Chain A
Amino acid sequence: MSETVIKVENISKFYQLGLINHGTLAKDLQAWWAKIRGKDDPNSRISLVNPQNSDKNTDFIYALKDVSFDVQQGEVLGIIGANGAGKSTLLKILSRVTSPTSGCIKIKGRIGSLLEVGTGFHPELTGKENIYLNGAILGMRKHEIDRKLDEIIDFSGVEKFIDTPVKRYSSGMYVRLAFAVAAHLDPEILVVDEVLAVGDADFQKKCLGKMDDVSKKEGRTVLFVSHNMAAVRQLCTRGILLRNGELVFDGGTEKTIDKYLSFTRNPNFCNHIVREENIDSKISIKELFIYKNDVLSDGSYSAGDKLTVKIKMKYQRKPNDFDYGVLIHIFKNDGTRIATSSSMLMYGKTYKTEPEVSFVLDTYTLVPGKYYVEIATHNHFKKEVFDEFKNAFCFAVEKSDVNSVGYNYGTHWNPWVLIPVQWS
């Protein structure tokens, strides 16, 4: 049943660096003259290795380098990577806005792109006129738009203003109308780039729902680019990871996200962290000891293991015990804040001259995955933060077994946390 609908074969793309100005014509003529005499272009200094980490003098930069992958019918492929990894270039090539420098892409079916909604809207035209214009730009025939007009207007939620020039629309209305047109394009392959950043929460939900429908119910293929890992996790069935223009990973969504996040965060676990930098604050964090069940940790925890952290601090002038506390935040590796706790609530606890606190965390409520911890000293009541230790350390939860049934059903659904539930 599954059929390859996109075949990307060894795509490379490089861009010329620097200005294109009066020097261009002279260089072009030189290059042309050299070509006529069968010589190499004297101005070409293209290096075949990625110039980002080698020769600074090259005039070209690789945006994509030898990327190959296939996409099957009905797949929702998430394309992730840091800024400048080549995601947008890849989408531009796929949607034929620009062409690759070498390589070849074969596509089955019509590609509809939501690279930027509202392209070609004319401010003087009314909403309805713009639906026709924008639809035609996106490749719809007039009779298709006639058929879907009511649906589009309904989806956009601007039916009251449909005969008003769009220049009088609020930006939200404008974007909603634009997305409505794009969403009803019904292409076999849909290319989406960060459009979810627009609109209010309600509209975003509608968009995600529409994309879900498109892929799951109608069996269409979706290529989705986003920095929002939660959305990628929710929508995609497969992921590819790009880094510096190269395809570095191709596999399941979860694994791809992990891989991506492990590039961005320090993956080396250390159970004794001494903070080198000198922090000028009333109370600064100096040292951390991380334990697993009372012994120094290896960074990996499974169901029911206790995570203990001892935090050593230093102060400039001895504060009143009630004046400060330690705050911890636990984040999932995609940046979602899972839990927060503060020692401010432990009134009356006397700290020693070398102030030190510990906290113990039961890991059984955590879904398997990677987490990182941020530690800060603060005064909750005065809304003051003295010292913030971001990305203090990270740890992994291998498996969890909240209900002690020997098998974890929960993680199949990707919940945020696991909670103990009593069944009877």
Chain B
Amino acid sequence: MSTEKENWTTVITPKNSFFRLNLKELWQYRDLIFSFVKRDITATYKQTILGPLWFFIQPIFTTIMFLIVFGNIAKIPTDGIPQVLFYMNGIILWNYFSKCLVSTSNTFVTNSAIFKKVYFSRLTMPVSNVISALVQFLIQFGLFIVILIGYKFNGANFKLSAAVFAVPLFVLQMAVLGLGLGLIITSLTTKYRDLTHLVGFAVQLWMYATPIVYPLSMVPEKWRNLYVLNPVVPILEGFKHAFFSTGMPSITEYGISVAMTVFFLVIGIFIFNMVEKNFVDTV
């Protein structure tokens, strides 16, 4: 009898234990994550004429848009960096963040049909979203590098900094921040659907609270301390510094951003974990 007790492979109880990170289970479903990533990438551009070219079109047109509106009409300076590179640098990393955040925050609502039918580790959905967004980011990043090299050959005046080696870390932090916030929001959407409507334009507004269309130097000195509490700001600044040596945010500023990222991730996973078992009954 005692030996039998230890053999149960699954024990279903009303609630998840306080903080049981299902990382082991997530690992068991790694093939599923890659299937989802493959599905996202192949399905998005099926039956389109331009196919994967759409990956490039979006950042290019946004850059052109910014160039016209903010660069030439509003004449906002870019700290001596070529405008195209300045905008593009911000856009691609911001796009990655917003994609992670928005798709993660829609996890429960968009996938409720499948979640209602079959069980698999629920975390696979947001994680695969983050990975497929990463693929898109990498393609756009490649485009950015090509344009960067083009400008360099034409004698543009900027130089890389040592922070280039930290670029993967900036990208990772963006992903984690988007995922963490997204998990919190999606857990709340199971009950309060209002948040789905909120997220879409909140992300748009948020972009203007980040140094993408204007340089950090334009922010008045007295607001700066408050401004950098926005956890995205030090990451975007670091990412810009890596390619244009514009100046790294201070260790404190960056430290706060990392701490907030970790905080949101932990809270996110915790709430997600609480909600995932019973969300089917409320969505």
Contact = CB atoms under 8 A, between A and B. Distances in A.
Q: Do A and B come from one complex?
A: yes
Interface stretch (B7-15, B50-58, B76-84, B166-174): B7-15
Contact of B32 (A100, A101, A115, A136): A136
Interface stretch (A43-51, A125-133, A272-280, A303-311): A125-133
Interface string A114-128: 011001101011000
Contacts of A132: 35
B222 interface: no
Contacts of B114: 119-120, 137
A102 interface: yes
A96 B12 contact: yes
A322 interface: no
Given A103-B14, A124-B46, A96 B119 contact: yes
A113 B116 CA distance: 12
Interface in A146-180: 165
Contact of B14 (A25, A101, A125): A101
Given A16-B281, A24-B192, A129-B42, A97 B13 contact: no
Nearest to B7: A108
A414 interface: no
Please tell me the size bucket of the interface on B.
35 or more
Interface string B2-40: 001001111111110000000000000101101110110
B43 A122 contact: yes
Nearest to B13: A104
B75 interface: no
B282 interface: yes
Nearest to A139: B120
Contacts of B117: 97, 115-116, 119
A124 B10 contact: no
Contacts of A15: 281
B152 interface: no
Given A24-B191, A125-B39, A107 B118 contact: no
A108 B42 contact: no
Contacts of A115: 117-118
Contacts of A142: 31, 34
Given A99-B14, A125-B42, A133-B39, A106 B277 contact: no
Contacts of A137: 32, 35, 114, 118, 120
A97 B14 contact: no
Please tell me the size bucket of the interface on A.
35 or more
A136 B191 contact: no
| Most B C-beta atoms less than 10 A away, residue of A15, A28, A124, A138 | A124
Contact of A98 (B9, B35, B277): B277
Interface in B69-128: 113-120
B278 interface: yes
A111 interface: yes
B5 to A, nearest CB: 8
B259 interface: no
A25 B192 contact: yes
A93 interface: yes
Contact of B12 (A93, A119, A136): A93
Contact of B9 (A25, A107, A139): A107
B131 to A, nearest CB: 14
Contacts of B34: 142
A148 B82 CA distance: 56
A189 B14 CA distance: 21
A385 interface: no
Given A20-B191, A96-B119, A97-B116, A107 B278 contact: no
A28 B282 CA distance: 14
Contact of A133 (B35, B113, B115, B282): B35
Given A99-B12, A108-B8, A119 B118 contact: yes
6 contacts: A20-B282, A97-B115, A104-B11, A136-B32, A142-B31, A165-B46
Given A25-B192, A111-B10, 10 more contacts: A15-B281, A28-B191, A99-B15, A104-B11, A107-B10, A108-B7, A122-B39, A124-B47, A142-B31, A142-B34
Interface of B: 4, 7-15, 29, 31-32, 34-36, 38-39, 42-43, 46-47, 113-120, 191-192, 277-278, 280-282
A-B interface, 4 closest residue pairs, ranked by CB to CB distance from nearest: A96-B119, A136-B32, A105-B12, A119-B117
